[in-house]
Amino acid sequence: MKMLEDKILQCGIVLPGNVLKVDSFLNHQLDVKLINELGKELYSSFLNDNITKILTVEASGIAIACAAAANFDVPVVFAKKGHHENVGNDVYTAEVFSFTKKKSYTVAVSKKFLSADDNVLIVDDFLATGEACFGLKKIVEEAGAKLAGVGIAVEKRFQGGGNTLRKEGVKLKSLAIIDSMTDDSIRFGVDD
Amino acid sequence: MKMLEDKILQCGIVLPGNVLKVDSFLNHQLDVKLINELGKELYSSFLNDNITKILTVEASGIAIACAAAANFDVPVVFAKKGHHENVGNDVYTAEVFSFTKKKSYTVAVSKKFLSADDNVLIVDDFLATGEACFGLKKIVEEAGAKLAGVGIAVEKRFQGGGNTLRKEGVKLKSLAIIDSMTDDSIRFGVDD
């Protein structure tokens, strides 16, 4: 999606450790107009997939998940990180390893909000090694729900998570795919 | 706002310790259509206040903040909880005590995203004792920005935070105000 690629080129900052900082528009400050366009684009990719629910994980997936959900007219469920007393105990959980923070955390979704009748679109801001996405996928499976697909704003394809999903036959739409990046260049790829 | 009061009466659950559980539509599963209406209502309350930025705190404030921001056509900044390595060190911070979790946490906003030129609307899903809101207010003051007002989905007025803000002369709009609640009744109040 050209609008997103342009924004990444204009405002993204490459940091050591394969970090692409997009905190000025995607995950600390939010460019809501852009994010609403991302939501529309995800809708056009999955509009024939009978989505009943959008699943994301707090915090930075919430904005884009809501932007997509407004088009599908379905609820968003966001998985909570860590053990929240007020989520209750009747939850689906998965362990997720964060390479950025170098530790594992639990994601949890109340069983009330995912069922075998659901056809779920997982949405997130980033897909790198895919740990968060695989955690959400495990939760969808635990609930007996169907995974309709995965919609991502920025995929760092060179970190492998997206290709694993593709090999598994998961329908994946990444709005910007980064094949490589250095301090002074970002090379985008296309879905193949 | 009648639509929100009706939803609270229909789906809210009162738990011991003054907890109102609204996780089926406001802070775990999200009723995006309702939340977009809340955003419009906040817009109509502050449309003449020259808002330049909406400030909230992760995670459950993000959806309603984005819904409001889409109407104002301004960015959202969400404060991050805890010390995030990837926020950087150049941050405004405040300590917030959570009565639900019975411990303090830090909220942080990168200095890049708030300046003395900003006229800030703080938005959050809940206002009870007001700790999170006072933390965000302190960050606005530290940045030298102007606080235009505070927009809240559900104020539990009997817990005092909202009245403190009103006494301080802060323009506060709460879309539902709860004056008291028991296991089998919730009494709403009006702004006075």
Flag whether pLDDT at A29 surpasses 70.
yes
Q: How far is B50 from chain A (nearest CA, A)?
A: 17
Residues of chain B with pLDDT > 70: what percent? 96
Chain A and chain B share a number of CB contacts under 8 A equal to 110
Q: Give the pair of three-digit tokens for residue B160.
A: 């005092």
Q: How far is A58 from chain B (nearest CA, A)?
A: 6
Contacts of B87 in chain A (CB under 8 A): 23, 28
Site from A29, A55, A71 to mutate, B interface, most B CB atoms within 10 angstroms: A29
DSSP string, A115-148: -TT-EEEEEEEEESS-HHHHHHHHHHHHTT-EEE
Are residues A67 and B62, on separate chains, in Cβ contact within 8 Å? no
pLDDT at A18: 87
Pairing status of strand B146-156 against strand B172-182: parallel
**DSSP E strands, chain B:** 13-15, 19-21, 29-30, 53-57, 76-81, 91-98, 103-110, 119-127, 146-156, 172-182, 185-189
d(CA B66, CA A36): 9
Q: Average pLDDT for residues B53-65, to the nearest whole number?
A: 97
Measure CB to CB from residue B28 to each of A66, A74, A77 and give the nearest one.
A77
Q: How far is B109 from chain A (nearest CA, A)?
A: 8
Are residues A85 and B100, on separate chains, in Cβ contact within 8 Å? yes
Are residues A76 and B101, on separate chains, in Cβ contact within 8 Å? no
Q: At what angle do helices B62-72 and A32-46 cross, to 10 degrees?
A: 110
pTM for this model (two decimals): 0.96
Q: Residue B13 forms beta bridges with which residues?
A: B21
Average pLDDT, chain A: 95
pLDDT at B87: 63
By the 10 Å C-beta count (0-12 exposed, 13-18 middle, 19+ buried), A3 is classed as: middle
Q: Average pLDDT for residues B61-74, to the nearest whole number?
A: 98
Q: Give the pair of three-digit tokens for residue B8.
A: 């609270």
Measuring CA to CA, how many Å separate B30 from each of A186, B16, B24, B94?
A: 35, 23, 7, 27
Are residues B85 and A75, on separate chains, in Cβ contact within 8 Å? no
Flag whether pLDDT at A85 surpasses 60.
no
Least confident piece of the model among A42-51, A77-86, A91-100, A161-170: A77-86
pLDDT at B86: 57
Flag whether pLDDT at B111 surpasses 80.
yes
Closest CA to B114 of B87, B83, B81, B139: B139
Do B163 and B186 touch, CB atoms closer than 8 A?
Answer: no
In sequence order, the 6+-apart residues with CB closer than 8 A to the CB of A116 are A143, A144, A145
d(CA A40, CA A116): 26
pLDDT in tens, A91-150: 999 999 987 778 999 999 999 999 999 999 999 999 999 999 999 999 999 999 999 999
Contacts of B28 in chain A (CB under 8 A): 77-78, 80, 87, 109-110, 113
Pairing status of strand B13-15 against strand A185-189: unpaired
pLDDT category of residue B191 using cuts at 50, 70 and 90:
confident
d(CA A2, CA A127): 18
Average pLDDT, chain B: 95
Measuring CA to CA, how many Å separate B190 from each of B2, B45, B155, B187?
A: 11, 15, 11, 10
Q: Average pLDDT for residues B112-137, to the nearest whole number?
A: 97
Contacts of B33 in chain A (CB under 8 A): 70, 73
pLDDT category of residue B114 using cuts at 50, 70 and 90:
very high
Positive/negative CA dihedral, B22, B4, B79, B132: negative
Measure CB to CB from residue B28 to each of A23, A69, A87 and give the nearest one.
A87
Are residues A77 and B31, on separate chains, in Cβ contact within 8 Å? no
Positive/negative CA dihedral, A54, A59, A61, A62: positive
Measure CB to CB from residue A29 to each of B58, B85, B113 and give the nearest one.
B113
Are residues A59 and B78, on separate chains, in Cβ contact within 8 Å? yes
pLDDT in tens, B72-107: 999 999 999 986 555 667 999 999 998 777 899 999
pLDDT at A62: 98
